[in-house]
Amino acid sequence: MYEHDVLIIGGGLAGLRAAVEVTRAGADVAVISKVHPVRSHSNAAQGGINAPLTDRGEDWKGHAFDTIKGSDFLADQDAVEVMSSEAGEAVLELERMGVIFSRDENGKLGTRAFGGQKEARTYFVGAITGSAILHVLFEQSLKLGLNVYEEWFVTKLIIEDGACRGVVSIDLKTGEMHTIKAKAVIIAAGGAGRVFEPSTNALICTGDGLSLAYRAGVPLMDMEMIQYHP
C-alpha cells in the first residue's frame, strides 16, 4: 500500500499545476495517470489562454464580462469572477516557470482575441500552447521530486465516513492492483469527448474521472457541455 498527503488523478495541465502548487506548500503529493503526463490530451490545446492583460494594467472585469457573454450567460458567474481576477497573475507565473509565450514586436503579451473576447487578451505559444505549458509543468514536477504513478488506472475511489481517503488502481504495465491512501484526492482526469463521434479528442478522453466521482455519489453538473475539438 502507498500513502501520500494529496493524490491527484490526472497528469494534464490541471493536474500538474495543482501538483506543483501543493508540493510547494510542503505536502507529500503524487499524481496518478493512465498515460505519461506529457501524453495527456492537454497537448492538443493550441489557441491559447484568455486572461486580463495585467502587463498593460487592464482590469479583470472586461475579461469576466466577455467570458460570461460568450457563454450565452450560462457560465457560473461567481466562478468566472474568481477565474478572471486571478488569471493574469496565473499566466505570468507560468512564464516565470519557463513558458515562453509569444510576444509582439513591442514585447507585449496577449496579441490574439480568441473565445469571444473583444480585446486581444489571449496568451499563446505559437500553435503549441498546451504542449509548451505541459512540458514546463512536467519539468517543474521533476524538479520538485513529485511522485508519479505513470500508466496506472484508477478503478475506484475509497470513501470512508463521507470523505475520499484514497483509490484502488491497476498498474497497466503489470496488471497488478494497488491501493493508494491519501488525506485528500483531487480529480483532474479530463473530459469524455470520445463518448461521441466525430471527435478529435484523444482516445484517452473517456470520462473515467467523471464516472469515478459519480459512482462515489458526487453530484456532477453541466454534463451537457461537451467539447468535441480539440
C-alpha cell of 41? 490530451
Helix (H) or strand (E) holding 215: helix 208-215
What pLDDT does 167 receive?
99
Contact yes or no for 114/120 (Cβ under 8 A):
no
Which residue spans within the chain are E strands per DSSP? 2-9, 29-33, 49-50, 122-123, 147-150, 152-160, 163-171, 177-187
The domain spans of the chain are: 2-42+141-215, 47-127
Overall average pLDDT of the 182-188 stretch = 98
Identify the band that residue 37 occupies on the pLDDT scale cut at 50, 70 and 90: very high
Residue where the block lists cell 498527503: 5
Q: The whole model's pTM is what? A: 0.94
Provide the percentage of residues in the chain whose pLDDT is more than 70. 99
74-83, 118-127, 174-183: the lowest-pLDDT one = 118-127
Confidence of residue 229 (pLDDT cuts 50, 70, 90): confident
What confidence tier does 203 reach under pLDDT thresholds 50, 70, 90?
Answer: very high
Question: Each residue of 154-171: pLDDT tens digit?
Answer: 999 999 999 999 999 999
What pLDDT digit, counting tens, does each position of 10-22 carry?
Answer: 999 999 999 999 9
Please check whether residue 28 is in contact with residue 6, taking contact to mean a CB–CB distance below 8 angstroms: yes
- In single-letter form, the type of residue at position 97 comes to M
Q: What is the pLDDT of residues 131-151, one digit of tens each?
A: 999 999 999 999 999 999 999
Share of the chain above pLDDT 90, in %: 81
Whether residue 230 is predicted with pLDDT greater than 70 in this model: the reply is no
Output the nine-digit C-alpha cell for 33: 495517470
- List Cα–Cα distances, 32 to 40, 42, 167, 192, in angstroms: 12, 16, 10, 18
pLDDT band at 24 (very low <50, low <70, confident <90, very high): very high
Mutual angle of helices 60-70 and 77-97, in 10-degree steps? 120
Which one has a higher pLDDT value, 54 or 27? Answer: 27
Name the residue with higher pLDDT: 163 or 119. Answer: 163
pLDDT in tens, 43-86: 999 889 999 976 677 889 999 999 999 999 999 999 999 999 99
Q: Name residue 157's beta-bridge partners.
A: 167
| C-alpha separations of 166 from 96, 111, 135, 175, 217 in Å | 33, 43, 27, 19, 15
In terms of Cα–Cα distance, which of 175, 172, 179 is closest to 204?
A: 172
- 121-137 average pLDDT score: 96
Q: What is the CATH number of domain 2-42+141-215?
A: 3.50.50.60
Three cell numbers written together for 89: 497573475
